[in-house]
Chain A
Amino acid sequence: MKTTGVMIPTLLGRISKKPVTVLYPFEKLEVPPGFRGKIKFHLDKCIGCGMCAKDCVSAACIMIEKDDKKRPIFDMDKCTFCGQCEESCPKDAIEMTEEYELAHLNRGEVIVE
């Protein structure tokens, strides 16, 4: 039957349900396990091989020399969160955490060392 208002039953059925969206800063959705968020770097495990920097597509991960040791730093505002560095690291020194709130007033605060 060709008619208007095919959607009205669904529309009325929605009244008793809670809204689909949440009020973000006050309520937060649960992040699933395995989510790729802000990088956590374990300096003690790093051997300075540079595999992470070699495979990084966006040059967010670059090698620097500090205290006579080669090590990467991660610029999270360039990061595409693909997780390739985590995969490339032979010593599991890089870990993707579930932290996703990366807005800062100062650019230096988003650099993970």
Chain B
Amino acid sequence: MAEVRIPIGPQHPALKEPERFMITVEGETVVDADIKIGHIHRGIEKLAETKTYVQNQYLTERICGICSFTHTTNFCQVTEYVLGTDPPPRGLYLRTLVNELERIHSHLLWLGVAGHEMGFDTLFMYSWDDREIVQDILEHLTGNRVNYAYNCVGGVRRDITDAQKQMIIRGMDALLERMDYYVKVALNEKTILKRTQGVGILTTEDAKRLCAVGPRLRASNVKVDVRKDDPYAAYGELPFEVITSDTLDVHAQVVVRALETVESIKMCKYMMQNLPAGEIRVKVPKKVGPGEATSHTEAPRGEDIHHLRANGTDKPERLKVRAPTLANILNVQHTLKGANIADIPLVVAGIDPCMGCMDRVLIIDKDRETSKVWEKEELRKYSIEWYEGEPHR
């Protein structure tokens, strides 16, 4: 049978964010997949070099809309490493608390999206309803639902009141009950099992070889979690399990994420019962360095890295950001091969892709010169030039 190439994206009903897949199919089976990213570059790395450290706290928050707090944690940590500052324990606990609340809301969001991709919208509706519990807590605690502006170099910006503590404990109890139910649904509901079992299998060897991160790696039965391996903030003092699964498919990812949410809920309760007293932040100088440091954290989607080089002024010399989705793109490309066309959205959704997070480096969205309306002759000329010249350098 002849091979057919299908372009999917950059704008496509099956995708939530712009990226382009070039899928080669034979009948219903995908034989090759090619991914082009970079449609939503915003130039944050370059921009960070022109902003002060105070401003960068809020700029790094805008790298991602869902896992914004993990990026600010990373940025604040990396600056603290260069400065040699240790935030007070209460500040670290509160930072960890928001990190875990963010993981709960991100995983519930993913559960809904995955449900939606497999045509199980009931799950989507209910998991997003339960997500509102976390969102309300975050709004009360930080003052906003998504971009919390809660972190700062040297600690966190707001203290927690007793009423908020009680609200978190009550909310976590309610969520724990709901999560037990979702775990039951994930393990027993036929709609989920039929769409996810045996789909998007990534073996342990391939996951390691292609440097997968986060829940995708743990669903391939590799016990790696930055929170455990390289503890940051208050994670060294918290009891929690690293969840893995040995079924390697999309269903393994559903289970890993559901059980991870349960662990996070327990951690939040533990932190509320064992919150140390004292200050929440220390004052830090505005000028940083010279020096360099690397910080990595476990974002809801996997390992997230910031590397900072400071030159002694109030602006960074270079800030490098690697968001987890870029690391997971390779294994999507690999697992798509051999999948059915109908499974593409689910395999892609499986890694919980966050294109906005990944595409952060450049300024370009469209070249001004090429955005004007072209006459037919100009277009022909352009196409000849494009093929004759060396556009790919």
Q: A53-67 vs B: 1/0 string, CB under 8 Å?
A: 011111000000000
Mask, A61-97, CB within 8 Å of B = 1, is 0000000000000000000111110011000000010
With an 8 Å Cβ cutoff, the count of chain A residues facing the other chain is: 27
Let me know if A16 is at the binding interface, CB within 8 A: no
Is the beta-carbon distance between B188 and A57 smaller than 8 angstroms?
Answer: no
Q: Does A11 contact B (CB under 8 A)?
A: yes
Interfacial chain B residues near A58, Cβ < 8 Å: 58
Q: Assess whether A6 is in contact with B184, with CB atoms less than 8 Å apart.
A: yes
A106 part of interface (Cβ distance < 8 Å): no
- Interface membership of B180, Cβ < 8 A: no
Q: Is the CB of B190 within 8 A of A2?
A: yes
A residues 1-21 touching B (CB-CB < 8 Å) = 1-4, 6-7, 10-11, 20
Contacting pair A4 B190 (CB below 8 A): yes
Interface size bucket, B side? 20 to 34
What 0/1 pattern do residues 51 to 89 of B give for CB contact below 8 A with A?
110111111011000000000000000000000000000
Cα A37 to Cα B136 in complex, Å, equals 16
Contact check, B54 vs A6: say whether CB atoms are below 8 A apart: no
- 8 Å CB contact of B149 from A4, A7, A82: A82
DSSP class of B's interface residues: helix, strand, loop or mixed? Answer: helix
Q: List chain A residues, Cβ under 8 A from B51.
A: 57
- Docked Cα-Cα span, A2 to B189, in Å, equals 6
- With beta carbons under 8 angstroms apart, the residue of A4, A57, A84 that contacts B189 is A4
In the assembled complex, which residues on chain A have CB atoms less than 8 Å from the CB atom of B341?
none
- Decide if B188 touches A82 in the complex (CB within 8 Å): no
Residues A32 and B139 in contact, CB atoms below 8 Å apart: yes
Contacts of B126 in A (CB 8 A): 7, 10
Determine the distance from Cα of A4 to Cα of B192 in the docked complex, in whole angstroms.
9
Interface residues of A (CB under 8 A from B): 1-4, 6-7, 10-11, 20, 32-36, 54-58, 80-84, 87-88, 96
Binding site for A on B (CB under 8 A): 51-52, 54-59, 61-62, 122-123, 126, 129, 132, 136, 139-140, 143-144, 147, 149, 157-158, 181, 184-185, 188-191, 193
